[in-house]
Amino acid sequence: MQIVKDALARGDKTLSEFDSKQVLAQYAIPVTREQVARDLNAAKAFAEEIGYPVVLKGHSSTLAHKTEKNMVELNIEDEAGLTKAYQALEKRGEGQLDGILVQEMVKGERELVAGLVRDPQFGPCVMFGLGGIFTEVLKDVTFRVAPLEKRDALEMMDEIRAKKLLDTFRGKPAVDRDILASVLINLGRIGLENPEIAEIDINPLIIKGATPVAVDALVVLKKA
Q: What is the pLDDT of residues 73-124, one digit of tens each?
A: 999 999 999 999 999 999 998 888 999 999 999 999 899 999 999 999 999 9
Q: What angle separates helix 2-10 from helix 17-26, to the nearest 10 degrees?
A: 150
Mean pLDDT of the chain: 94
Regarding the domain delimited by 34-104, which CATH topology (the fold level of the hierarchy) does it fall under?
Answer: Dna Ligase; domain 1 (3.30.1490)
Under CATH, which number does the domain 2-27+108-221 receive?
3.30.470.20
DSSP annotation of 163 reads G
Cβ atoms of residues 140 and 130 within 8 Å: yes
Distance CA 106, CA 115 (A): 19
Instruction: Mean pLDDT check: name the lowest of 6-10, 64-68, 192-196.
Output: 64-68
Domain boundaries, the chain: 2-27+108-221, 34-104
Per-residue model confidence as pLDDT tens digits over 27-37: 999 999 999 99
Mean pLDDT confidence for 10-31 = 96
The helix (run of H) or strand (run of E) holding residue 80 is helix 79-92
Cβ atoms of residues 97 and 119 within 8 Å: no
Residue 133: pLDDT band (50, 70, 90) is: confident
Nearest to 147 by CA among 178, 181, 196, 175: 181
Backbone angles phi, psi at 101, to 5 degrees: -85, 125
